[in-house]
């Protein structure tokens, strides 16, 4: 409410109180005096109640005080109480008016949220992810919207956000845990009510996961394989567009993966690498095997056959370049540990939402292997995200899924993930993304990314990056301050100043400047929720709460649980089609040579194949060539050319006995 409206309200209320109490004193005194005729004629008559003018009490008090002093004293108390109440209300409303004047909104109305506003926003509930602490309560968000946190390294994001959330979230979780700290602190508690899975491509004891076995046999198999190939040909997530070699190798990988799933024993990405680089046969033999294998029982798979034929139609140099490019994307799976971890599926993506119990998947990668194993972790997340966002009203979903992705820019650009943030909340997926700064996000996703736009809740610690601090300061908003300027006038040696002038001016000021954002106390944080004023909160460190400390239990021992039980799939029970080379015709097989690494390669010229039928040479000199017997003009032209040649010969040698 504006200060002017408060002033007018103040005047009206004060006058109303004074008038009401004075009139009340007049009527009460007249009643006590029995409405004597000496009081004068009433102003009006309402039923049997005479109404006298409000100021009549003071005239009666002056005239008849000596006859009834006690009655007039009581009336004076009534009138005086109204004056006291009017003064008190006038003071209170003056303070209110002064405060409203200071809270001007000329340049902006940014302010910190109050406890009432926070409670009305539903941030003081008992469920949801942990955002921080406000006074004595935890700030928790249980809506479907996503959360983004800016927190530099060693600023307490793990102990203040990740660990408390994992100790309190009841549904399924996918945790990107680079150093394994969160697994060691939270896996023990979550194992009590959730199935705990540890996927570490560098650990032989890890829960196994084979991306190829998540391919659904049937109408969706080509789509699933193409999604796998999309991640394989872009291992860093840095491609703006694919070049020729990446496009052609993508086609080769799609065909090779489908062939391996249908016809080979080793249905893994390591098996795909071994199939394409088998030292016992050249690539041409491998491609012909792909074209002739009866994948569908009676005929080759059309996608496999077309991919092989496409590569066979290329020149040898181009074919070699495509194969080299494809093999470079499969180099990670030559590692025997990675090959073992991806040899089978101990869990399926459907277990995250359809299992009897919720599931917690920890993606743990040592810092020394982050760059090397990034393609595999990206592939796992991409498959999970795509599979869980296919059907909006899918039946059998029992659990919500939380994507707790700490240091998510380290995974590179996930195009599907960036676009899916806008709609994955409708499928029961909630993302909790943590980054060190805005620069880290822009390095992975570019300056015009939609990550921040799709995050409803943002949490910021004291940042070390000026651009991030500027972005947070702008998001907090601008407040309008009322500044007073005082001017003194008078002799400097006089005991008092003759004049004092005070002028007030409205100025704009950020709620927090970028410098103040960077200088936040170590225990403070900023929480920004759409539709709610910004919240200045405290970090929720788990070790400061006895309830969280009691939930820190030793992690489960995977050597004694049922993690080695492989999940069912559509491909493991398919009969192997036998040797690919044995199915080839004899002329398509490579000749063996024990002295030359098992393969005989001799330089030879290919058999000449005429594209068009060659015409026969004429037996006589003037015979007409029958290449086009129906073309009379062509035959005349040939005869004319031969006669001209003969005439030139006769003119050059007169003694050759040729006459014209």
Residue for token pair 């707790």: 404
Q: Helix 69-102 crosses helix 56-64 at what angle (to 10 degrees)?
A: 140
Mean pLDDT of 156-178: 93
Contact present, 119 and 127 (Cβ < 8 Å): no
More confident residue, 335 or 500: 335
pLDDT at 632: 63
DSSP 160: I
- Return the H-helix or E-strand segment holding 402: strand 401-406
pLDDT at 608: 44
What is the tens place of the pLDDT at every residue in 463-496? 998 999 999 999 999 888 777 777 766 665 566 6
Contact present, 208 and 197 (Cβ < 8 Å): no
Token pair, residue 425, equals: 């909340």
**Which of these, 370, 386, 459, lies nearest to 141 by C-alpha position?**
459
CATH of 129-208+345-475+523-549, one of 3.40.630.10, 3.40.50.300, 3.20.20.80, 3.40.190.10: 3.40.50.300
Mean pLDDT of 345-366: 91
Name 77's Cβ contacts closer than 8 Å, sequence gap at least 6: none
Low-confidence winner among 369-378, 550-559, 592-601 (lowest mean pLDDT):
592-601
The SS3 of residue 208 is coil
- Return the H-helix or E-strand segment holding 524: strand 524-529
Residues 314, 283: Cα–Cα separation, whole Å? 12
Determine whether 415 is exposed, middle or buried from the number of CB atoms within 10 Å of its CB (0-12, 13-18, 19+).
Answer: middle
Contact present, 94 and 132 (Cβ < 8 Å): no
Q: Where are the beta strands (DSSP E) in 155-314?
A: 172-177, 194-199
> What average pLDDT does the structure give for the chain?
82
pLDDT at 562: 46
Name 118's Cβ contacts closer than 8 Å, sequence gap at least 6: 124, 134, 139, 532, 535
More confident residue, 390 or 310: 310
Mean pLDDT of 339-357: 91
What is the tens place of the pLDDT at every residue in 293-340? 998 888 999 999 999 999 999 999 999 999 999 999 999 999 999 999
pLDDT at 415: 77
More confident residue, 557 or 225: 225
User: pLDDT band at residue 603, thresholds of 50, 70 and 90?
Assistant: very low
In this predicted structure, the answer to whether residue 645 has a pLDDT above a threshold of 70 is no
What is the tens place of the pLDDT at every residue in 209-250? 999 999 999 899 999 999 999 889 988 766 667 788 888 999
Low-confidence winner among 39-43, 248-252, 627-631 (lowest mean pLDDT):
627-631
Chain-centre distance for alpha carbon 97: 46
Between vectors from CA 64 to CA 61 and to CA 66, what angle results, nearest 5°? 105
**Which of these, 318, 340, 320, 339, lies nearest to 330 by C-alpha position?**
339
Mean pLDDT of 442-468: 90
Contact present, 517 and 474 (Cβ < 8 Å): no
Residues 78, 442: Cα–Cα separation, whole Å? 73
pLDDT at 648: 59
């Amino acid at each position: 409410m504006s200060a002017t409206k408060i002033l007018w309200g103040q005047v009206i209320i004060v006058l109303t109180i004074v008038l009401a109490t004075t009139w009340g004193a007049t009527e009460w005194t007249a009643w006590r005096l029995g409405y004597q005729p000496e009081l004068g004629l009433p102003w009006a008559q309402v039923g049997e109640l005479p109404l006298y003018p409000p100021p009549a009490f003071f005239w009666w008090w002056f005239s008849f005080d000596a006859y009834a002093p006690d009655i007039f004293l009581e009336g004076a108390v009534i009138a005086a109480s109204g004056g006291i109440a009017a003064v008190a209300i006038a003071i209170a409303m003056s303070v209110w008016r002064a405060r409203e004047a200071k809270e001007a909104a000329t340049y902006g109305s940014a302010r910190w949220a109050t406890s009432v506003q926070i409670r009305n926003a539903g941030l003081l509930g008992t469920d949801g992810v942990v955002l921080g602490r406000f006074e004595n309560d935890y700030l928790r968000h249980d809506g479907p919207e996503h959360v983004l946190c800016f927190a530099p390294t060693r600023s307490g994001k793990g102990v203040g956000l990740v660990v408390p959330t994992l100790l309190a979230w009841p549904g399924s979780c996918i945790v990107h845990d680079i150093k394994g700290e969160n697994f060691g602190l939270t896996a023990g508690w979550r194992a009590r009510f959730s199935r705990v899975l540890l996927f570490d491509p560098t650990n032989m004891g890890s829960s196994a996961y084979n991306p190829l076995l998540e391919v659904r046999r049937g109408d969706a198999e080509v789509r699933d394989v193409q999604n796998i190939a999309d991640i394989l040909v872009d291992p860093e997530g840095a491609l703006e567009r694919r070049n020729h070699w990446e496009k052609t190798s993508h086609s080769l990988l799609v065909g090779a993966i489908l062939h391996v799933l249908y016809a080979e024993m080793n249905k893994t990405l390591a098996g795909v690498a071994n199939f394409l680089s088998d030292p016992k046969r050249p690539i041409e033999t491998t491609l012909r095997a792909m074209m002739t294998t009866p994948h569908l029982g009676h005929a080759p798979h059309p996608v496999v056959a077309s991919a092989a034929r496409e590569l066979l139609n290329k020149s040898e140099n181009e074919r070699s370049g495509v194969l080299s490019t494809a093999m470079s994307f499969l180099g990670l799976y030559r590692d025997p540990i990675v090959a073992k971890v991806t040899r089978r599926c101990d869990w399926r993506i459907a277990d995250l939402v359809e299992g009897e119990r919720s599931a917690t998947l920890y993606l743990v990668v040592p810092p020394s292997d982050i760059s090397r194993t990034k393609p595999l972790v990206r592939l796992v997340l991409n498959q999970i995200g795509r599979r869980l966002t296919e059907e909006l009203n899918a039946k059998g979903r029992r659990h919500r899924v939380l994507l707790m992705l700490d240091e998510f820019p380290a995974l590179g650009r996930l195009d599907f993930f960036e676009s899916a943030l806008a709609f994955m909340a409708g499928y029961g997926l909630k993302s909790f993304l943590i980054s060190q700064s805005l620069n880290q996000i822009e390095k992975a996703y570019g300056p015009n990314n939609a990550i921040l736009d799709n995050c409803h809740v943002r949490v910021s610690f004291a940042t070390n990056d000026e651009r991030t601090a500027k972005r947070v300061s702008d998001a907090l908003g601008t407040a309008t301050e009322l500044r007073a300027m005082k001017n003194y006038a008078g002799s400097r040696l006089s005991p008092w100043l003759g004049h004092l002038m005070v002028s007030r001016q409205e100025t704009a000021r950020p709620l927090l400047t970028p410098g103040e954002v960077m200088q936040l106390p170590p225990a403070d944080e900023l929480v920004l929720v759409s539709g709610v004023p910004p919240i200045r909160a405290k970090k929720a460190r788990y070790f400061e709460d006895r309830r969280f400390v009691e939930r820190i239990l030793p992690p489960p021992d995977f050597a004694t649980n049922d993690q080695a039980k492989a999940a069912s799939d559509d491909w493991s029970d398919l009969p192997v089609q036998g040797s690919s080379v044995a199915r080839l015709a004899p002329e398509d097989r490579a000749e063996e040579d024990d002295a030359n690494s098992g393969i005989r390669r001799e330089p030879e010229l290919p058999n000449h194949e005429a594209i068009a039928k060659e015409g026969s040479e004429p037996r006589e000199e003037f015979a007409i060539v029958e290449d086009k017997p129906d073309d009379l003009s062509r035959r005349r032209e040939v005869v004319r050319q031969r006669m001209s040649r003969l005439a030139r010969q006769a003119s050059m040698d007169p003694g050759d006995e040729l006459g014209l």
